Structure 1
Amino acid sequence: MTTSGSTAVGSTLGNWMATRRSGHCSPAQGVEQRIRFAFLGRVSTHGYQDPESSLAWQLHSAQELIGNQGVIVARYFDVGCSRRVALWSRPEAGRLLRDLERDDRGFDAIVVGEADRAFCGRQLVQLGPLLARSGVQIWLPETLGPVDLDDPAHVALVLWLGSKARREVERARFRTTAAMREQVHLQGRFQGGRPPFGYRLVDAGPHPNSVHAAWGRRLRRLEPDPVTGPWVTWMFQRRLDGWTLSRISRELNSAGVPCPAGADPDRNRHRTGGGWILRTVASILENPRYTGWEVWNRQGGDHETGDDGSGETEAKRHWNPAADWVMSRKQAHPALVSQEDFVAAQETRVKPEHGGKKPRTYLLTGLVVCGLCGRRMAAHWGRSRPAYRCRHGHSSAKRRDRDTDRIRNLYAREDMIINIVRDEVPGMATATASEVAAELRRRDVMITVDRETVTITVPQGSPGYSTAGQVALPGL
C-alpha cells in the first residue's frame, strides 16, 4: 500500500497559501474525526498518456470532493488498464479489493477522482455486496459524496455513468478503426506493431498532422532487412519448387537462420525463439504484405461482453476472411516476392483430394495415448487405412540425429483397436466402428498402446461401470 504523506511546501509563500486554503485552522484541529480514504484511479495507456499528470488531476478532484472531511492515506492507481477490464484483473484495483477484506486495511472509505476512471457498466453496482460486508463506502464527484446503493436515485445515476463510460469506449474504437482503415487504403500507412520477418522499420517523413509534426512525430514504413529479407524470398522460391513446409523448416534450422523471435527478441518476448516450426513458415508464406502492398485487418478481435451486464469484455483473436482485409491502393514498400509468385505459392497449399475418394476419417482422435512416452497419438494414414502414430516429440522441422539412440515411432491401426474394444468393453460386441468411438467418448475411456499391449482405462463413475479399472490386452 502506498501511503500519501503531507505535501512539502518549501517556501514561506507556500506555507501562507496552505494556511489560507485551510481557513486558518490549526493543522491538528479535528484530525480524530477525519475519514481515512483510499484513492482509486486509472490511466488507460502508458505510451500515449502521462500517468503522472493523470494521477495528479484525479487526486486533485478526489481531494476537492472530500475537502476537510478526510485525508487520503493510500493510493491504488493502475497504469495501462482499460476500464472494461474486471476490477479483480487490474493489479492495483485488485489489490484494493483484497485489502478491503483485511481487518488492518488502514482506510475507512474509497474516493475516486472521476467515475469512469474506475468503473464501467455495472462494475460499481456489483461491488455493492463486498462494500457492505466491509463497511466501506465509495465517494464519487458525480454523487457529491458517498454513494448509497440502497437509494434508487443513486443506483440509477451509477448505472447511467457506467453506460456512458461503455459507450465512450465503443465510439473511440469505431472512430479509431475507421481512421486506420482509410489511412491504409489511401496512404498505405504502416499502422504499428512488429514488422514482418524480413523487414525493418525506417523513417518515412514527418507526420501529416501539422501539430504532431511540430512535436517531432514522424511516420515509419517497412524496408527489406538485409539479413533476414533474402531468406523470405528464398522460402517462397523453395515453396514454388515444391518443397514441403517441413523441408523448408529443416533447412532453415540446419542453416542456423534465426526464427522471427530469435532475430527480433525485443519485439517477441512472448516467444522462446527456439527455432523454426511449420506454423511459422506457413504464416510467412500466407502474408500478402511481402508483395509490397500494405494489408491490414487480416486478424481481428471480438470484444465479447459477459452475460452479467458488468460491461467487462474479453477480446478473442481470430483470422478475418479476405473480404474484410484492407489493402492499400498502391504499393507501400519494397516487395520481397512478386504478386504472381505469392498467388502461386498459395495454390500449392491446396490439400490433395486423394483421387476423388472420400475424406479420411479418424474415429479415435484424442483417445489413444502412447504407452512409451505418454503423449496422445496423432492420426496417421497408413497402408490405405486410418491409424495412429507417435513420434515421441520429434518435429518435422528438425533433422533427425542419426547418432542419437532415438525411440522408434509407434504405430497402431484403428480397426485393430476397435476390434479389441468390441471384445472387452461391455455392450460393444455388435456396435459399428462409429458407435464404438461415440460410446468410448461418452464413457470417457482412455486407450493406451505400446508395442505389446493395449490398456483400456475406465475412469471412476463412468456410465456403465461401477468402479474404475484397467484391462491389459495383447498388443496389436
Structure 2
Amino acid sequence: MDSLFGPPIDLAGLPNFARVESRPRRTVFCGRVSTKDQQNPSSSIPRQVSLAAQRLKDGEEFAGHFWDVESGMLPPESRGLGPQEMYDALHVKTPRDGGLQDLLDRAELLGVTHVLAERSDRVARAMLTSLTVEHELQKIGVEVVYANEPIGGTESGRLRTRRYGQVEAELFRTAMLEMSMGGQVQHAINGWNHGIPPYPYIAVVDKDAPPPAPGRFGEARPKKKLVPHADPRRFDASRELCRLRREEHLKAADIIAILSADRSRYPIEGRWTHNRVEGLIANPKLTGYQVYNRKASRTGRPGFSRWNPISQWVWSPRPAHDAVVSLEEWKAAQEVTAGLRANAPDGPLLRIRAAAGRRGLTVTVVEKTGSHTRYRIGGRLVVMPDPVPDAVAQQVIEELENAA
C-alpha cells in the first residue's frame, strides 16, 4: 500500500520508487460445498468462482481450482478423500486440481501467490482450521483473500471483518451441531436405529413413522427400527455369549472357542472375533432399548472414534424392539467385563474350562434348570450346581487331569 504522504516532487522515475514483485502473480481458487446431498455442487462451485473472480487483477485468470465436497467441520487432512469418480459424477463445469489439502501441499511448488475464496467458511467452519490454513500459506508468502471483505481502508478494519466472519462461521457450525444432535436424540427416543444393526437384528423401515417434511432439500432417509433376524439361532447365540460372560466370567478368547466349536448352533459370517464378541456383550441395544451417542466419531483423528461415558448415552424411554437380555443381565455382564479387565480372580467354571482346554476339549452348556446346569466336556455330560462350588470344580479338574 502506497504512503498517504508522498514526496514534494515527482520521484516516480527512480528505479526503486515502486516495489517489484520477485515472482509473478499466480492466483488459485479455493472453494467448498458441504455435501452433494445438502448443496448442489454443479451450481454452488461455479457461483463461488464467479464471486471470487471479482478480486482478480485485470486480465488475470485463475491458475488452478481447488475445491472439496466435504463438511467444513473436517480438518484439511480429512478433506478431499473421495475418489475422482465421485467428483466426475457431479458434472461440475469448474475444473478441479485437488482439494484443500492438495492446495496446502502443492502451493509452494506451483508458485502460488494468492488464494481467492468467496468467504472464510468456504475454507473451514472451524475458526482454528481457517486460521491454521492462512498461517501455513502465509509462511510461504501466499496471501489469502476473501471476496466478501472490503477493498481499501485500514488493515485493522480488514482484519476485524475477517475475524468477525470466522467467528460467525464457527457459531453457525456450533448451532448446526446442536440442532443435528437434537435431531439424533429425538431419533433415538422414538426408537429408530442408528448405524449397522447388531448381529441378532435387522433394520426394517418403520411404516408408522411420520413422512418427511414437504419441500425438504436432499434425499430423506427412511426411519428404521430393529426386528429379530430371520435366523433365530442368532438370538440364541447372542444370549449365550452374554451368559458366558455374565455367569461364567469368560474372556473373549474362551467364548470364541465355544462358539466356533459349534457353528451350526452359533452361526456367523466369516468367523467369531474378539471385536465381535466384546462388541455384542457391550451393546446396550440387546436390552431392547434404542441407544445413541455411545461413540464420538469426530475426534480430529481420521478413522478414530472415542467411547463416550455411559452418562452421556441417550436411551429410548421404553423398549423399542425385542430384547436378547434384560437390563439387569446386561449391567451384570458389564460389571464382569470391568472385573476381567482389572485382572479379577478366575472363577471355578473358568478353571474347569482352562483344564479342559489344555486337553483340547471345550465346555458347552446343554441344559439349565433352576439350580443345576448340564455341561458337555468333550464326549462326557457333567451336571454341576449353579454357581459351581470350588470343591466341585476341583473334583472335575482332577478327573480331567487323571483321564487317560
Scaled by the length of structure 2, what TM-score is found?
0.61
2:213 aligned residue (210, 215, 219):
210
**1:274 CA drift (Å):** 6.6
Aligned to 1:430: none
Aligned to 1:253: 260
SS in 2 for 1:38: strand
Q: Contact 2:66–2:103 (CA<8 Å) still a contact in 1?
A: yes
1:295 aligned residue (291, 296, 307):
291
Q: Contact 1:297–1:324 (CA<8 Å) still a contact in 2?
A: yes
SS in 2 for 1:222: strand
1:195 aligned residue (169, 172, 197):
197
CA 1:327–1:126 in structure 2 vs 1: closer, same or farther (change >3 Å)? closer
Runs of 5+ unmatched residues, structure 1: 1-33, 264-272, 304-312, 353-358, 362-379, 382-395, 403-476
SS in 2 for 1:194: coil
Q: Contact 2:35–2:70 (CA<8 Å) still a contact in 1?
A: yes
Aligned to 1:232: 238
Hey, which of these two has a bigger chunk of strand by percent?
1
1:347, 1:128 → 2: CA distance? 49
1:326 aligns with 2:314: yes
1:287, 1:139 → 2: CA distance? 49
**1:131 CA drift (Å):** 4.5
CA 1:66–1:330 in structure 2 vs 1: closer, same or farther (change >3 Å)? same
1:178, 1:70 → 2: CA distance? 47
Q: Contact 1:298–1:322 (CA<8 Å) still a contact in 2?
A: yes
- Aligned pairs, how many? 302
Q: Contact 1:83–1:117 (CA<8 Å) still a contact in 2?
A: no
Q: Contact 1:44–1:82 (CA<8 Å) still a contact in 2?
A: yes
**1:320 CA drift (Å):** 3.4
Q: Contact 1:295–1:325 (CA<8 Å) still a contact in 2?
A: yes
Aligned to 2:400: none
1:88, 1:338 → 2: CA distance? 43
Aligned to 1:20: none
SS in 1 for 2:160: helix
**1:80 CA drift (Å):** 2.3
2:216, 2:114 → 1: CA distance? 45
2:221, 2:298 → 1: CA distance? 31
Paired AA for residue 287 in structure 1: N
**1:290 CA drift (Å):** 0.8
CA 1:176–1:244 in structure 2 vs 1: closer, same or farther (change >3 Å)? same
Paired AA for residue 198 in structure 2: P
CA 1:39–1:401 in structure 2 vs 1: closer, same or farther (change >3 Å)? farther
**1:289 CA drift (Å):** 0.8
1:216, 1:159 → 2: CA distance? 36
**1:169 CA drift (Å):** 1.2
Aligned to 2:273: 276
RMSD of aligned residue pairs (Cα, Å): 4.1
1:109 aligned residue (106, 114, 118):
114
CA 1:128–1:168 in structure 2 vs 1: closer, same or farther (change >3 Å)? closer
1:128, 1:346 → 2: CA distance? 47
CA 1:136–1:350 in structure 2 vs 1: closer, same or farther (change >3 Å)? closer
Aligned to 2:188: 184
User: Within 5 Å, which residues of 2 pair with 1:408-427?
Assistant: none
1:137 aligned residue (134, 143, 146):
143
**1:40 CA drift (Å):** 0.7
Q: Contact 2:118–2:148 (CA<8 Å) still a contact in 1?
A: no
Paired AA for residue 70 in structure 2: G
Using the TM superposition, name which of 120-129 and 322-331 deviates more: 120-129
**1:401 CA drift (Å):** 10
2:59, 2:359 → 1: CA distance? 75
2:178 aligned residue (174, 179, 198):
174
1:156-207 deviations in Å (ceiling 9; x for gaps) = 222222222111111111122123223322x1222x3222222222111255
Q: Contact 1:253–1:276 (CA<8 Å) still a contact in 2?
A: no
Aligned to 2:380: none
1:244-279 deviations in Å (ceiling 9; x for gaps) = 13321112233458999x84xxxxxxxxx77412x5
2:226, 2:215 → 1: CA distance? 21
CA 1:197–1:53 in structure 2 vs 1: closer, same or farther (change >3 Å)? farther
Higher RCO (CA < 8 A, seq sep 6+):
2
1:275, 1:325 → 2: CA distance? 27
Q: Contact 2:200–2:235 (CA<8 Å) still a contact in 1?
A: yes
1:155 aligns with 2:159: yes
Q: Percent identity?
A: 22
1:275-327 deviations in Å (ceiling 9; x for gaps) = 412x5423312222112111222334686xxxxxxxxx669844333333221
2:136, 2:129 → 1: CA distance? 12
